[in-house]
Structure 1
């Protein structure tokens, strides 16, 4: 080992790879099930080698026991999984918005395979999640992920005690914000659905003989999708701005 790397260098590389590899398993776009595991591992190894000179000073020394080594590795893997889970949890805002729009447009029965959730979902929800992932890479938001990985070693330094309560608070707040944002993104369609249903009920009361359902169902789909299409640009802009704010939580550790 000595001609190539010292024991301390191998230990530092293993610690960095433990955190980075765990994050790569959860990141949107990179950690999906359709991405080959070799690609993810290769990317994690490459990023670990790049970050090694930057964060090596924040890493603990090589423990003298095997149990100590295993404990540090498990700790770094758990930290990486927590960071990746928080970044992925915010993507549920688009899923919530898609499900809400589908309910309002009577398209909730139209199920399709959602590649980002590895389970069936509504077509609009799958479309929005694919749109969000595309926007992350199109707007270079994934660069914040790399900066956040460096900042995480200041925000969650390996030498400091791991405070699980902060992770829980951040995770709960992220899920809460994601659900609230999902409802806000679907607000134009929700307002349309409220007005349309009120108008349909009024027509049914004024003209009892008129078959409101047969006329309202296709109009609800056509007009609802039209409102959704018109608000799609705002939906993408608001989501990517809020997502960048979530990613900046970890980036801020590098500047603080």
Structure 2
């Protein structure tokens, strides 16, 4: 092996590192705020070296000017951020489901620090988000991230124009799908809450002197959390399948 790297090799490694590093800074799990930046950058460097022989054929030649170099680097960073942002948008479905369940079980005031959103949120939302990240690693879905890094050079080649319009449309669709998925995941608790509130209202109308609120508030919490616990397995299965479908969209031919 040669004891030095040629300019073309440094250029190829740096361009791959720009996309890989940007994606690893935003994807769920690895891109969380509590993961030290040195860990993420080290992983990006190792993955870039491993991917270099596979994707070097997709890279443009070394530009003759510094402006051209900066333009290509900015483009690759933007591409990595877009891919990572789409994956993180889908993770917000669990936060949406947790907030809906908290509202229906009167636990919305139980706020806690959510490390995945970098802001306070309901306890159930933080729990579901943590469950989603755990499922990503437990089901080896994070392997799709690496396959997606290689496959993204087929789906979004560096030499092709940056498809900002397509990304904007896909981002809007992903946000809508994630919100819809969050409502669907919380559907069992929503159905229970509707039936329970109708029954409570009927009892309140039939027996006006009965303190319906003090009797139904504990039952709403206990029964609502019971329904939530019984549906937790289905929630995790449906979410991870939808998340894998989104991640596989970037694998191209590398996922096989």
Query: How does the TM-score come out when normalised to structure 2?
Result: 0.98
Matches within 5 A, 1:68-83: 68-83=68-83
Residue aligning to 1:235: 235
1:15–1:72 contact (8 Å) kept in structure 2: yes
Query: Hey, what does 2:100 align to over in structure 1?
Result: 100
The residue number in structure 2 matching 1:36 is 36
The aligned residue for residue 157 of structure 1 is 157
User: Which residue in 1 is equivalent to 2:126?
Assistant: 126
The whole-number CA distance in structure 2 between the counterparts of 1:105 and 1:255 is: 41
Q: In 1, Cα distance between the equivalents of 2:255 and 2:118?
A: 36
Alpha-carbon distance between aligned partners in 2 of 1:172 and 1:42, rounded to the nearest angstrom: 32
Distance 2:255 2:81 in 1: 23
Structure-1 separation of matches of 2:24 and 2:146: 11
Compared CA separation, residues 233 and 29, structure 1 to 2 (3 A): same
Question: For each residue in 1:135-189, what CA deviation from the matched residue of structure 2 results, as whole angstroms up to 9, or x when unmatched?
Answer: 0000000001111111100110001111111111111111111000000000000
Rounded Cα–Cα distance in structure 1 between residues aligned with 2:253 and 2:117: 30
Aligned partners of 1:243, 1:7: CA distance in 2, in Å?
39
Counterpart of 2:182 in structure 1 is 182
Cα distance in 2, alignment partners of residues 251 and 41 from structure 1: 22
Matched with 2:224 is 224
1:197-225 C-alpha deviation (Å, 9 max, x unpaired): 00000000000010000001100000000
Corresponding residue of 1:46:
46
Deviations 1:8-47 (A, max 9, x none): 0000000000000000100111011110110000000000
CA–CA distance in structure 2, aligned partners of residues 151 and 103 of structure 1? 40
Please identify, of 3-12 and 98-107, the stretch whose mean Cα deviation from structure 2 is larger: 3-12
In structure 1, what is the Cα distance between the partners aligned to 2:181 and 2:252?
22
How far 1:252 sits from its partner (Å)? 2.8
Query: Any idea what SS the aligned residue of 1:240 has?
Result: helix
Q: Where does residue 247 of structure 1 map in the other structure?
A: 247
Partners of 1:253 and 1:219 in 2: CA distance? 52
The aligned counterpart of 1:137 is: 137
Root-mean-square deviation (Å): 1.1
Unpaired runs of 5+ residues, structure 1, are: none
Say whether the 8 Å CA contact 1:155–1:254 is kept in structure 2: no
Could you tell me how far 1:251 is from its partner in structure 2?
1.2
Q: Which runs of 4+ in 1 moved over 3 A?
A: 253-256
Q: TM-score, normalised by structure 1?
A: 0.98
**SS of 2:250 mapped into structure 1:** helix
